[in-house]
Amino acid sequence: MRAMIFETPGAPLRSVDWPVPSPGPEQLLIRVQVCGVCRTDLHLVDGELPNPKIPLVPGHQIVGTVAAVGQAVERFAVGDRVGVPWLGWTCGRCRYCRSGRENLCDAARFTGYQIDGGYAEYTAADQRFCFPLPAGYADLQAAPLLCAGLIGYRCLKLAGEGEDLGLYGFGAAAHIVAQVARHQGRRVYAFTSPGDAAAQDFARSLGAVWAGDSSQAPPRPLDAAIIFAPVGGLVPAALRAVAKGGVVVCGGIHMSDIPAFPYEILWGERVLRSVANLTRLDAEEFLALAPTIPVRTTVRSFPLEAANLALETLRAGDLHGAAALLVGAES
């Protein structure tokens, strides 16, 4: 099969002829149709995530068709359309797994990080961590639901119920979360890189009541803010933007160092927290919710062989919404 392979941190992915995986007893062999491109893939390629599998097929927003099933598989059959997210396996036994927090599992393995992912024509995935996808979404439009959507949704839940919500970094996750938040009756304030008028217009088109530079203060104090951009300097900015009792959620897997800040901006029962990964319950909830809103995803597609171009386009911020690789002929 054709695959894009990660071997050396800091070097581009390499296009190779690679063996088709053979599914284990609990695994599906999936013919990949589309694989979303995520900021996490960029952190991986840049060597910012510790201990990846090497060599590795990246990609953790996989939309595909079941081509074969392992002998213990009972949730899916050949021909089914499935989605594969970032959470690829958990132990089911540790203190986190036993308390509804499998996203924190000590032994968790992640798709496109410790498990080969979807930047290839085929992938193998554990059926217990695969999901049916809502029928109303074409493969390309479904792909960003699987990470930008799922982890964005978890961030939104952990941001609390406040009405005035700031989103720092208006990329793939924010363009989905803005639609969910607006549907819930919240007001969305979008913060972009200074001067990025196109991203601010895009945010307004998705219902943001205000859009501006991340260096600006919002027109009113926020109840919560979610930081999707991997920029530590946004943490004090967001703490300054939230009212007393407000919550600041860091949604990314990696962030540059957070600068020192005065205690005064955390005081007043402001909360600063991260969100790590997702649980299967998050996936079930969000994939049921998205089509009822309905969430519409804006996705720019690239051929599989152009994975490096897709990643550099994401790095440059030259995208509105999400990016995804078109892998299968049906897409």
Question: Which residue's CB is nearer to Zn ion, number 37 or number 241?
Answer: 37
79 burial level (CB within 10 Å; 0-12, 13-18, 19+) = exposed
CB of 79 to Zn ion, least distance (A): 27
Residue 145: closest CA among 4, 307, 313, 297:
297
In this structure, are strands 122-126 and 27-37 parallel, antiparallel, or unpaired? antiparallel
Question: Which residue's CB is nearer to Zn ion, number 97 or number 143?
Answer: 97
Question: Which residue's CB is nearer to Zn ion, number 57 or number 147?
Answer: 147
Residue 87: closest CA among 74, 101, 75, 99:
101
Distance CA 146, CA 129 (A): 12
Binding mask 200-239 for Zn ion (x = CB under 5 A): ----------------------------------------
Residue 189: closest CA among 177, 98, 36:
177
Distance CA 90, CA 102 (A): 7
Using the rule CB under 5 A, is 277 a contact of Zn ion? Answer: no
**Other CB atoms closer than 10 Å to residue 51's CB: what's the count?**
7
Locus of tokens 């699987």: 146
Distance CA 150, CA 62 (A): 13
Using the rule CB under 5 A, is 111 a contact of Zn ion? Answer: no
Question: Which residue's CB is nearer to Zn ion, number 216 or number 285?
Answer: 285
Could you say which residues in the range 147-176 bind Zn ion, by CB under 5 A?
147
Binding segment for Zn ion (CB under 5 A), chosen from 20-28, 104-112, 136-144, 169-177, is 104-112
CB of 107 to Zn ion, least distance (A): 5
Question: Which residue's CB is nearer to Zn ion, number 94 or number 266?
Answer: 94
Question: Which residue's CB is nearer to Zn ion, number 211 or number 322?
Answer: 322
Structure tokens at 206: 């998705």
Could you say which residues in the range 38-67 bind Zn ion, by CB under 5 A?
38, 40
Using the rule CB under 5 A, is 94 a contact of Zn ion? Answer: yes
The single residue among 97, 177, 325, 327 that binds Zn ion, judged by CB under 5 A, is 97
Task: Estimate the share of the chain in helix, then strand, then coil, as percent rounded to the nearest 5.
Answer: 30, 30, 45
CB of 165 to Zn ion, least distance (A): 21
Binding segment for Zn ion (CB under 5 A), chosen from 120-128, 144-152, 218-226, 314-322, is 144-152
CB of 40 to Zn ion, least distance (A): 4
CB of 116 to Zn ion, least distance (A): 16
Question: Which residue's CB is nearer to Zn ion, number 92 or number 268?
Answer: 92
Residue 287 contacts residue 145 (beta carbons within 8 Å)? yes
258 burial level (CB within 10 Å; 0-12, 13-18, 19+) = middle
Using the rule CB under 5 A, is 276 a contact of Zn ion? Answer: no
* Residues of the shown chain interacting with Zn ion in the complex, contacts defined by CB under 5 A: 38, 40, 90-91, 94, 97, 105, 147
